[in-house]
Amino acid sequence: MSSAYFQGPWVPAADRALVTGGSSGIGRDIALMLAGAGVEVFVVGRRMERLEAVAAESDGSITPLAADIRDADAVDAAFTAAEAEGGPVPLLVNAASGAFLAAAEDISPGGFAAVVGSSLNGPFQVLRRWAQPLLGAGTPGAAMMVSSALAEREVPGAAHSSAAKAGLEALIRSLAVEWGPRGLRINSLAPGAFSTEGADAGMWSFGPVHDAALDNIPLGRFGASDELLGPAAFLLSRAAGYVTGATVVVDGGWHLSPHPFGSVFPPRG
Ligand SMILES: CCCCCCCCCCC/C=C/C(=O)SCCNC(=O)CCNC(=O)[C@H](O)C(C)(C)COP(=O)(O)OP(=O)(O)OC[C@H]1O[C@@H](n2cnc3c(N)ncnc32)[C@H](O)[C@@H]1OP(=O)(O)O
Ligand SMILES: NC(=O)C1=CN([C@@H]2O[C@H](COP(=O)(O)OP(=O)(O)OC[C@H]3O[C@@H](n4cnc5c(N)ncnc54)[C@H](OP(=O)(O)O)[C@@H]3O)[C@@H](O)[C@H]2O)C=CC1
Protein backbone atom coordinates (compact mmCIF):
# COMPACT_ATOMS: atom_id res chain seq x y z
CA MET A 1 0.00 0.00 0.00
CA SER A 2 1.58 3.29 -1.03
CA SER A 3 2.03 6.44 1.00
CA ALA A 4 0.52 8.38 -1.93
CA TYR A 5 -2.62 8.97 0.11
CA PHE A 6 -0.68 11.18 2.51
CA GLN A 7 0.73 14.19 0.64
CA GLY A 8 0.95 17.93 1.34
CA PRO A 9 -1.41 18.87 4.20
CA TRP A 10 -2.70 15.31 4.20
CA VAL A 11 0.20 14.11 6.37
CA PRO A 12 -0.82 11.76 9.18
CA ALA A 13 -1.84 13.72 12.27
CA ALA A 14 0.62 11.65 14.34
CA ASP A 15 3.25 8.96 13.86
CA ARG A 16 1.71 6.11 15.91
CA ALA A 17 -1.64 4.39 15.38
CA LEU A 18 -3.65 1.48 16.75
CA VAL A 19 -6.03 -0.19 14.28
CA THR A 20 -8.61 -2.70 15.51
CA GLY A 21 -9.83 -5.11 12.88
CA GLY A 22 -6.46 -4.62 11.22
CA SER A 23 -6.15 -8.24 10.06
CA SER A 24 -8.82 -8.19 7.36
CA GLY A 25 -10.76 -6.07 4.91
CA ILE A 26 -11.13 -2.36 5.56
CA GLY A 27 -9.03 -2.29 8.74
CA ARG A 28 -6.21 -4.18 7.05
CA ASP A 29 -6.16 -1.77 4.10
CA ILE A 30 -6.03 1.23 6.45
CA ALA A 31 -3.28 -0.35 8.57
CA LEU A 32 -1.16 -1.01 5.49
CA MET A 33 -1.80 2.52 4.20
CA LEU A 34 -0.69 4.07 7.49
CA ALA A 35 2.39 1.84 7.77
CA GLY A 36 3.27 2.68 4.17
CA ALA A 37 3.22 6.35 5.13
CA GLY A 38 5.75 5.75 7.92
CA VAL A 39 3.29 5.51 10.82
CA GLU A 40 4.13 2.94 13.52
CA VAL A 41 1.02 0.76 13.55
CA PHE A 42 -0.39 -1.70 16.10
CA VAL A 43 -3.03 -4.05 14.71
CA VAL A 44 -5.63 -5.69 16.96
CA GLY A 45 -7.91 -8.63 16.21
CA ARG A 46 -8.88 -11.92 17.79
CA ARG A 47 -6.70 -14.22 15.66
CA MET A 48 -2.96 -13.68 16.05
CA GLU A 49 -1.93 -15.58 12.91
CA ARG A 50 -3.97 -13.27 10.69
CA LEU A 51 -2.48 -10.20 12.38
CA GLU A 52 1.01 -11.60 11.86
CA ALA A 53 0.28 -12.14 8.17
CA VAL A 54 -0.56 -8.44 7.75
CA ALA A 55 2.56 -7.44 9.66
CA ALA A 56 4.67 -9.64 7.35
CA GLU A 57 3.07 -8.06 4.29
CA SER A 58 4.20 -4.52 5.14
CA ASP A 59 7.61 -2.94 4.68
CA GLY A 60 6.66 -0.54 7.47
CA SER A 61 6.22 -1.08 11.20
CA ILE A 62 3.17 -3.20 12.11
CA THR A 63 2.98 -4.93 15.50
CA PRO A 64 0.25 -7.56 16.06
CA LEU A 65 -1.66 -7.56 19.35
CA ALA A 66 -4.39 -10.17 19.85
CA ALA A 67 -7.53 -9.05 21.69
CA ASP A 68 -11.29 -9.35 21.47
CA ILE A 69 -12.56 -5.77 21.71
CA ARG A 70 -15.55 -7.02 23.75
CA ASP A 71 -13.12 -7.92 26.55
CA ALA A 72 -12.15 -4.73 28.41
CA ASP A 73 -9.17 -6.42 30.10
CA ALA A 74 -7.82 -7.62 26.76
CA VAL A 75 -8.30 -4.13 25.29
CA ASP A 76 -6.40 -2.67 28.22
CA ALA A 77 -3.55 -5.17 27.75
CA ALA A 78 -3.28 -4.34 24.04
CA PHE A 79 -3.05 -0.59 24.70
CA THR A 80 -0.60 -1.16 27.56
CA ALA A 81 1.65 -3.14 25.19
CA ALA A 82 1.37 -0.48 22.47
CA GLU A 83 2.15 2.29 24.95
CA ALA A 84 5.08 0.49 26.56
CA GLU A 85 7.78 2.12 24.47
CA GLY A 86 6.35 5.25 22.90
CA GLY A 87 3.66 6.36 25.35
CA PRO A 88 0.03 7.11 24.45
CA VAL A 89 -0.96 6.28 20.88
CA PRO A 90 -2.42 9.42 19.25
CA LEU A 91 -4.19 7.83 16.25
CA LEU A 92 -6.99 5.27 16.61
CA VAL A 93 -8.92 3.38 13.95
CA ASN A 94 -11.68 1.04 15.10
CA ALA A 95 -12.68 -1.17 12.19
CA ALA A 96 -13.39 -4.31 14.23
CA SER A 97 -17.01 -5.41 14.24
CA GLY A 98 -19.06 -8.44 13.36
CA ALA A 99 -22.59 -9.21 12.31
CA PHE A 100 -24.67 -12.01 10.86
CA LEU A 101 -27.86 -12.00 8.82
CA ALA A 102 -30.96 -13.16 10.66
CA ALA A 103 -34.63 -12.30 10.91
CA ALA A 104 -35.18 -10.29 14.08
CA GLU A 105 -37.30 -13.00 15.69
CA ASP A 106 -34.40 -15.44 15.24
CA ILE A 107 -31.79 -13.26 16.96
CA SER A 108 -31.26 -14.74 20.43
CA PRO A 109 -30.30 -12.55 23.39
CA GLY A 110 -26.79 -13.97 23.06
CA GLY A 111 -26.68 -13.22 19.34
CA PHE A 112 -27.87 -9.64 19.88
CA ALA A 113 -25.29 -9.18 22.63
CA ALA A 114 -22.50 -10.63 20.45
CA VAL A 115 -23.15 -8.15 17.64
CA VAL A 116 -23.83 -5.10 19.82
CA GLY A 117 -20.78 -6.05 21.87
CA SER A 118 -18.49 -5.96 18.86
CA SER A 119 -20.10 -2.91 17.24
CA LEU A 120 -20.91 -0.60 20.16
CA ASN A 121 -19.83 -1.74 23.65
CA GLY A 122 -16.42 -2.93 22.43
CA PRO A 123 -15.72 0.21 20.38
CA PHE A 124 -16.62 2.30 23.44
CA GLN A 125 -14.10 0.37 25.58
CA VAL A 126 -11.50 0.89 22.85
CA LEU A 127 -12.21 4.63 22.64
CA ARG A 128 -12.19 5.06 26.40
CA ARG A 129 -8.92 3.19 26.90
CA TRP A 130 -7.35 5.06 23.97
CA ALA A 131 -8.39 8.45 25.34
CA GLN A 132 -7.49 8.02 29.02
CA PRO A 133 -3.68 8.50 28.75
CA LEU A 134 -4.01 11.17 26.06
CA LEU A 135 -6.40 13.18 28.21
CA GLY A 136 -4.12 12.65 31.20
CA ALA A 137 -1.06 13.89 29.34
CA GLY A 138 -2.86 16.63 27.39
CA THR A 139 -1.66 15.06 24.14
CA PRO A 140 -3.79 15.65 21.03
CA GLY A 141 -5.22 12.70 19.14
CA ALA A 142 -7.65 11.62 16.42
CA ALA A 143 -9.96 8.62 16.30
CA MET A 144 -11.85 7.24 13.34
CA MET A 145 -14.56 4.67 14.05
CA VAL A 146 -15.83 2.55 11.16
CA SER A 147 -19.61 2.72 11.16
CA SER A 148 -21.99 1.85 8.31
CA ALA A 149 -23.70 3.89 5.62
CA LEU A 150 -26.99 2.40 6.75
CA ALA A 151 -26.58 3.30 10.42
CA GLU A 152 -29.45 5.76 10.14
CA ARG A 153 -31.55 3.56 7.86
CA GLU A 154 -33.70 0.44 8.15
CA VAL A 155 -31.73 -2.80 7.69
CA PRO A 156 -34.12 -5.77 7.83
CA GLY A 157 -32.02 -8.87 8.47
CA ALA A 158 -29.42 -6.95 10.46
CA ALA A 159 -31.46 -5.19 13.17
CA HIS A 160 -28.73 -5.80 15.77
CA SER A 161 -25.94 -4.33 13.64
CA SER A 162 -28.08 -1.42 12.48
CA ALA A 163 -28.99 -0.48 16.07
CA ALA A 164 -25.39 -0.78 17.20
CA LYS A 165 -23.98 1.33 14.37
CA ALA A 166 -26.58 4.04 15.00
CA GLY A 167 -25.48 3.98 18.63
CA LEU A 168 -21.85 4.24 17.58
CA GLU A 169 -22.54 7.39 15.59
CA ALA A 170 -24.43 8.91 18.52
CA LEU A 171 -21.51 7.98 20.75
CA ILE A 172 -18.92 9.74 18.62
CA ARG A 173 -20.97 12.93 18.63
CA SER A 174 -21.10 12.98 22.44
CA LEU A 175 -17.42 12.16 22.79
CA ALA A 176 -16.45 14.81 20.25
CA VAL A 177 -18.10 17.38 22.50
CA GLU A 178 -16.67 15.96 25.74
CA TRP A 179 -13.12 15.51 24.50
CA GLY A 180 -12.81 18.19 21.81
CA PRO A 181 -11.84 20.92 24.29
CA ARG A 182 -9.07 18.59 25.50
CA GLY A 183 -7.54 18.02 22.07
CA LEU A 184 -9.16 14.83 20.78
CA ARG A 185 -11.02 14.60 17.44
CA ILE A 186 -13.53 11.74 17.05
CA ASN A 187 -15.08 10.96 13.66
CA SER A 188 -16.59 8.03 11.85
CA LEU A 189 -16.22 6.62 8.37
CA ALA A 190 -19.39 4.98 7.08
CA PRO A 191 -18.82 2.50 4.25
CA GLY A 192 -21.54 1.27 1.96
CA ALA A 193 -21.14 -2.09 0.20
CA PHE A 194 -17.51 -3.22 -0.07
CA SER A 195 -16.34 -6.70 -0.92
CA THR A 196 -14.17 -7.94 1.98
CA GLU A 197 -13.43 -11.36 3.36
CA GLY A 198 -15.80 -11.01 6.31
CA ALA A 199 -18.62 -9.20 4.54
CA ASP A 200 -18.49 -11.54 1.55
CA ALA A 201 -18.74 -14.57 3.83
CA GLY A 202 -21.51 -13.12 5.96
CA MET A 203 -23.57 -11.05 3.53
CA TRP A 204 -22.52 -10.44 -0.03
CA SER A 205 -22.19 -14.10 -1.06
CA PHE A 206 -25.92 -14.43 -0.36
CA GLY A 207 -27.23 -13.66 -3.87
CA PRO A 208 -30.55 -11.92 -3.08
CA VAL A 209 -28.86 -9.59 -0.58
CA HIS A 210 -26.01 -8.80 -2.96
CA ASP A 211 -28.39 -8.07 -5.84
CA ALA A 212 -30.82 -6.02 -3.74
CA ALA A 213 -27.97 -3.87 -2.50
CA LEU A 214 -26.62 -3.37 -6.00
CA ASP A 215 -30.06 -2.43 -7.35
CA ASN A 216 -30.33 0.31 -4.74
CA ILE A 217 -26.89 1.92 -5.05
CA PRO A 218 -27.23 5.02 -7.24
CA LEU A 219 -23.68 4.69 -8.60
CA GLY A 220 -24.60 1.14 -9.63
CA ARG A 221 -21.68 -0.78 -8.16
CA PHE A 222 -19.96 -1.88 -4.96
CA GLY A 223 -17.07 0.30 -3.75
CA ALA A 224 -13.46 -0.49 -4.54
CA SER A 225 -11.24 -0.71 -1.46
CA ASP A 226 -9.06 2.21 -2.51
CA GLU A 227 -12.17 4.41 -2.61
CA LEU A 228 -12.31 4.25 1.18
CA LEU A 229 -8.63 4.99 1.68
CA GLY A 230 -8.71 8.62 0.56
CA PRO A 231 -11.52 9.58 2.97
CA ALA A 232 -9.83 7.57 5.75
CA ALA A 233 -6.50 9.28 5.09
CA PHE A 234 -8.23 12.65 5.23
CA LEU A 235 -9.86 11.99 8.63
CA LEU A 236 -6.53 10.79 10.05
CA SER A 237 -4.51 13.68 8.62
CA ARG A 238 -3.69 17.19 9.70
CA ALA A 239 -5.96 18.40 6.90
CA ALA A 240 -8.93 17.30 9.05
CA GLY A 241 -7.74 19.26 12.06
CA TYR A 242 -11.05 21.15 12.29
CA VAL A 243 -13.30 18.10 11.71
CA THR A 244 -14.84 16.33 14.69
CA GLY A 245 -18.12 14.60 15.49
CA ALA A 246 -18.60 13.97 11.77
CA THR A 247 -19.56 10.88 9.80
CA VAL A 248 -18.14 10.62 6.30
CA VAL A 249 -20.38 8.38 4.19
CA VAL A 250 -18.69 6.52 1.31
CA ASP A 251 -21.41 4.42 -0.29
CA GLY A 252 -22.16 5.43 -3.88
CA GLY A 253 -25.32 7.11 -2.59
CA TRP A 254 -26.82 3.93 -1.11
CA HIS A 255 -28.11 5.67 2.02
CA LEU A 256 -30.37 7.82 -0.20
CA SER A 257 -32.22 4.83 -1.60
CA PRO A 258 -36.00 4.72 -0.91
CA HIS A 259 -35.39 1.31 0.69
CA PRO A 260 -31.81 0.05 0.70
CA PHE A 261 -32.81 -3.61 0.38
CA GLY A 262 -36.00 -3.39 -1.66
CA SER A 263 -38.23 -6.30 -0.64
CA VAL A 264 -35.50 -8.92 -0.29
CA PHE A 265 -36.22 -9.60 3.34
CA PRO A 266 -40.02 -9.74 3.80
CA PRO A 267 -41.48 -10.58 7.20
CA ARG A 268 -42.43 -14.21 7.75
CA GLY A 269 -45.84 -14.78 6.17
C1 LIG B 1 -31.72 -7.78 3.79
C2 LIG B 1 -30.36 -8.18 4.18
C3 LIG B 1 -29.63 -7.26 5.11
C4 LIG B 1 -28.21 -7.18 4.71
C5 LIG B 1 -27.40 -6.49 5.75
C6 LIG B 1 -26.45 -5.56 5.14
C7 LIG B 1 -25.98 -4.63 6.18
C8 LIG B 1 -25.13 -3.59 5.59
C9 LIG B 1 -24.45 -2.85 6.66
C10 LIG B 1 -23.92 -3.83 7.72
C11 LIG B 1 -22.94 -3.21 8.64
C12 LIG B 1 -22.06 -4.24 9.17
C13 LIG B 1 -21.26 -4.88 8.33
C14 LIG B 1 -20.30 -5.84 8.85
O15 LIG B 1 -20.16 -6.09 10.01
S16 LIG B 1 -19.31 -6.46 7.67
C17 LIG B 1 -18.10 -7.40 8.56
C18 LIG B 1 -18.62 -8.71 8.73
N19 LIG B 1 -17.62 -9.56 9.32
C20 LIG B 1 -17.98 -10.38 10.23
O21 LIG B 1 -19.11 -10.38 10.65
C22 LIG B 1 -16.95 -11.36 10.68
C23 LIG B 1 -17.00 -11.53 12.13
N24 LIG B 1 -18.22 -12.19 12.62
C25 LIG B 1 -18.33 -12.57 13.86
O26 LIG B 1 -17.39 -12.39 14.59
C27 LIG B 1 -19.63 -13.25 14.31
O28 LIG B 1 -20.56 -13.21 13.25
C29 LIG B 1 -20.30 -12.65 15.55
C30 LIG B 1 -20.69 -11.24 15.25
C31 LIG B 1 -21.54 -13.39 15.98
C32 LIG B 1 -19.39 -12.74 16.75
O33 LIG B 1 -18.87 -14.02 16.96
P34 LIG B 1 -18.88 -14.83 18.36
O35 LIG B 1 -17.65 -15.66 18.33
O36 LIG B 1 -19.15 -14.00 19.54
O37 LIG B 1 -20.15 -15.64 18.12
P38 LIG B 1 -20.66 -17.02 18.69
O39 LIG B 1 -20.46 -18.07 17.65
O40 LIG B 1 -20.09 -17.30 20.05
O41 LIG B 1 -22.20 -16.71 18.84
C42 LIG B 1 -22.68 -15.74 19.76
C43 LIG B 1 -24.18 -15.72 19.64
O44 LIG B 1 -24.55 -15.28 18.31
C45 LIG B 1 -25.37 -16.30 17.72
N46 LIG B 1 -25.11 -16.36 16.27
C47 LIG B 1 -23.90 -16.38 15.69
N48 LIG B 1 -24.01 -16.48 14.37
C49 LIG B 1 -25.35 -16.52 14.10
C50 LIG B 1 -26.13 -16.62 12.92
N51 LIG B 1 -25.54 -16.69 11.72
N52 LIG B 1 -27.48 -16.62 13.03
C53 LIG B 1 -28.10 -16.53 14.23
N54 LIG B 1 -27.40 -16.45 15.43
C55 LIG B 1 -26.05 -16.43 15.33
C56 LIG B 1 -24.95 -17.58 18.40
O57 LIG B 1 -25.96 -18.57 18.27
C58 LIG B 1 -24.75 -17.11 19.82
O59 LIG B 1 -26.02 -16.96 20.41
P60 LIG B 1 -26.43 -17.81 21.74
O61 LIG B 1 -25.63 -17.22 22.84
O62 LIG B 1 -27.89 -17.59 21.87
O63 LIG B 1 -26.06 -19.23 21.47
N1 LIG C 1 -17.64 -4.55 3.99
C2 LIG C 1 -18.80 -3.90 4.01
O3 LIG C 1 -19.59 -3.97 3.05
C4 LIG C 1 -19.15 -3.08 5.20
C5 LIG C 1 -18.36 -3.01 6.34
N6 LIG C 1 -18.72 -2.20 7.36
C7 LIG C 1 -17.86 -2.09 8.56
O8 LIG C 1 -16.50 -2.06 8.20
C9 LIG C 1 -15.72 -2.63 9.26
C10 LIG C 1 -14.77 -3.65 8.68
O11 LIG C 1 -15.52 -4.67 8.04
P12 LIG C 1 -14.89 -5.63 6.97
O13 LIG C 1 -13.50 -5.22 6.67
O14 LIG C 1 -15.88 -5.76 5.88
O15 LIG C 1 -14.90 -7.01 7.82
P16 LIG C 1 -13.90 -8.22 7.98
O17 LIG C 1 -14.70 -9.30 8.62
O18 LIG C 1 -13.17 -8.52 6.72
O19 LIG C 1 -12.84 -7.68 9.06
C20 LIG C 1 -13.22 -7.58 10.41
C21 LIG C 1 -11.97 -7.40 11.25
O22 LIG C 1 -12.34 -7.19 12.59
C23 LIG C 1 -11.77 -8.18 13.44
N24 LIG C 1 -12.74 -8.44 14.50
C25 LIG C 1 -14.03 -8.83 14.37
N26 LIG C 1 -14.62 -8.92 15.57
C27 LIG C 1 -13.67 -8.59 16.47
C28 LIG C 1 -13.67 -8.49 17.88
N29 LIG C 1 -14.75 -8.79 18.60
N30 LIG C 1 -12.53 -8.10 18.50
C31 LIG C 1 -11.42 -7.80 17.78
N32 LIG C 1 -11.37 -7.86 16.45
C33 LIG C 1 -12.48 -8.28 15.80
C34 LIG C 1 -11.49 -9.36 12.52
O35 LIG C 1 -10.43 -10.21 12.96
P36 LIG C 1 -10.75 -11.52 13.86
O37 LIG C 1 -11.96 -12.16 13.24
O38 LIG C 1 -9.50 -12.32 13.82
O39 LIG C 1 -11.04 -10.97 15.21
C40 LIG C 1 -11.05 -8.61 11.26
O41 LIG C 1 -9.72 -8.16 11.39
C42 LIG C 1 -16.70 -3.19 10.27
O43 LIG C 1 -16.87 -2.28 11.33
C44 LIG C 1 -17.98 -3.31 9.47
O45 LIG C 1 -19.12 -3.24 10.29
C46 LIG C 1 -19.84 -1.42 7.33
C47 LIG C 1 -20.67 -1.47 6.25
C48 LIG C 1 -20.42 -2.33 5.13
What pLDDT digit, counting tens, does each position of 8-58 carry? 778 999 999 999 999 999 999 999 999 999 999 999 999 999 999 999 999
Q: Over the stretch 218-263, which tens digit does the pLDDT of each residue have? A: 999 999 999 999 999 999 999 999 999 999 999 999 999 988 887 6
Give the ipTM.
Answer: 0.97
Q: Is 43 in the pocket of ligand 1 (CB under 6 A)?
A: no
Mutate which of 28, 46, 68, 100 for ligand 1 pocket (most atoms within 8 A of beta carbon): 100
Write the CB contacts of 71 (distance below 8 Å, at least 6 apart in sequence).
Answer: none
Nearest atom of ligand 1 to the alpha carbon of 148: 11
Shortest-distance ligand to the CA of residue 31: 2
In 3-state terms, the chain is what percent helix, strand and coil (to 5)?
A: 50, 15, 35
Query: What average pLDDT does range 174-180 have in this prediction?
Result: 98
H helix runs in 87-215, sequence order: 109-116, 122-137, 159-179, 197-199, 207-215
Q: Is 23 in the pocket of ligand 1 (CB under 6 A)?
A: no
Q: Is 133 in the pocket of ligand 1 (CB under 6 A)?
A: no
Shortest-distance ligand to the CA of residue 50: 2
> Which domains are assigned to the chain?
16-250 (3.40.50.720)
